[in-house]
Every structure is written in structure tokens, then in C-alpha cells.
Amino acid sequence: AQDSWQIFNELLESTPRGNFGNFALYFDKQEILPFVIGDYRYNKANDEISRYSSKEVEVRALIEGQFVAKRAYAEDFGLVIGPNTRIIATGGASVNKAILQVLSDVFNSPVYISEAANSAMMGAAYQAKYGLFHNNCSFDEITRCLPEPTPVCQPYDDAESIYKPMTIRYRKIVDQILKKKNEQKSKCK
């Protein structure tokens, strides 16, 4: 996107949710979950391809793939996405409404931003405080002094019908990648 967030956002927003069935995973460095490295692009027919025909499709594949992976692992670790689920985005990308909209859609949940500085550190501190005082007060009581996060995005009505199947597809693709990797490993022995 020529080092321009504006161009990046235009590319992202010019492609529909679901990206015409195109889906990609980008692991530039060795990941832990899944334990793979490399770029994996798939078309609508689930064929692995080397590149997409447009920057628009590539950009949406990048963002959707990242968030679908996060959703899959959050669910695998026990997160139940329901009507009370909300996401609080912090850090650099939390100012990018185009990216936050994809996050909202993938998780089928509203996204809020927090104005608190050093939010990861503050969250850890509040968790530690709760660990010390959990017998005397709830986490809500401990964090009551924090300012309310600001709502920035709501999921589109059709978001779940697009991204739930994509999350299932992600798991299948990762299983295929890991199976292929293990087969290659056993051939080398």
C-alpha cells in the first residue's frame, strides 16, 4: 500500500467481507500456534495459490486471516462469543477504523477503544491486584475507577454467517498445513 495507511484502508474497504472466498495465512516468523512458518494463500475452491490477482484481495486476506486465527484460538481456549461479548482494542492499530471493523465482524462483537495509556501494563496490574484481593472484591469493583471504553464499531448483520464458516475453514487449513509439514519431516528421516 505504498507505506500509506489511507491507501491500505481504501484497498481493505474496496473488497467485500469474506473476500470472494479468498483466504490467507501469513507467518513471516516461526509461530507457536500453529507451529508453522510461511505464507499460505487459498482461493475460493480451497486451492493453494502463489499470489492473488489484486492488492485489494491480498490486503483483506491478510487482515481477515489474522483475526480469524485469533477467533479460532480464543474459542479453542474457551471463549464463548455471545451477545455480551465485546472487544476492547488498544495499541497502534486501535486508531484504524477499517481494521477495527474487520475485527468487529470476525468476532461478531462490538469493538471499543480505551484511552488508557500503557493498557497492557495496566491490565496486568489490575489482574495482579485482583489476584491479591479476589476474596474481598470483584474484578469489576477493582476496575470501576477506569474510564468507560468508547464504542467504535458494530458488526454487520451478516458477519456471523461469513466468519463462523471461515473460522472452521481456518482450522481445516491449519490441520492440512501441519499434516503436510509432518509428512515432509518424516520423509527426511
Q: Distance of alpha carbon 180 from its chain centroid, rounded?
A: 24
- pLDDT of 91 reads 82
Threshold 0.85, pTM exceeds? yes
Residues 107 and 16 in one domain: yes
pLDDT in tens, 103-132: 999 999 999 998 777 788 888 998 999 999
Quote the mean pLDDT of the chain: 92
**Domains in the chain, number:** 2
Residues 110 and 123 in one domain: no
Residues 16 and 72 in one domain: yes
Above 70 in pLDDT, residue 146?
A: yes
pLDDT in tens, 38-89: 999 999 999 999 999 999 999 999 999 999 999 999 999 999 999 999 999 9
In-domain check, residue 90? yes
How far, in Å, CA of 6 to CA of 83, rounded? Answer: 32
- pLDDT of 131 reads 94
How far, in Å, CA of 80 to CA of 74, rounded? Answer: 8
Residues 62 and 127 in one domain: no
Pull the grid cell for residue 160.
456471523
Residues 40 and 93 in one domain: yes
In-domain check, residue 189? no
Mean pLDDT of 167-188: 88
Burial of 106 (0-12, 13-18, 19+ CB in 10 A): buried
Residues 159 and 122 in one domain: no
Residues 175 and 87 in one domain: yes
- pLDDT of 1 reads 63
